[in-house]
Amino acid sequence: MAKRKTTRKAPARRRAYAAPKRRSYRKKSGTTMIPAAAATVGAVYAMKEPIKTVIQNMSVGGVKTAAQQAVQVDTLKKTAIYTAGAYVAGEAIKRYAPKIIKTPMGKIAKKIPKFF
């Protein structure tokens, strides 16, 4: 007997979706963050007087006084110098310091909010 032709379509092949890539987690060392964290610490140290003023006097007047202290020319110069100096020191530590120094500093640097 001859094969009969049917009007029925052939079943569509099941589509095989690609499995999503598994995310690999790498333990990031904090040594790359040392310069940015050092710059943040330098900027905060330079601005310690306005910060103390705000902490001691939380009123509007205290905040205004702290803002006036922060935008003085001497304070801005000091902030720029301390920030740049700390960043350069952080870069030097990142490149040339032994691992026994870099590892703990990197762990601390991870926890410091970055200024840059």
pLDDT, tens digit (0-9, with 9 covering 90-100), for 46-82: 999 999 999 998 888 889 999 999 999 999 999 999 9
Query: Quick one: angle between helices 60-70 and 48-56, nearest 10?
Result: 170
Which pTM does this prediction carry? 0.72
User: Where residue 4 falls among pLDDT bands split at 50, 70, 90?
Assistant: low
- Kindly tell me if the per-residue pLDDT of 24 is higher than 80: no
The confidence score (pLDDT) of residue 36 equals 94
Residue with tokens 């530590």: 93
Tokens of 4: 């009969």
In the three-class reduction of DSSP (H, G, I as helix; E, B as strand; rest coil), residue 7 is classed as coil
Closest CA relative to residue 39, chosen from 76, 81, 4: 81
- Go through the chain and tell me how many residues it has: 116
Please tell me the distance from the alpha carbon of residue 81 to that of residue 83, in angstroms, as a whole number: 6
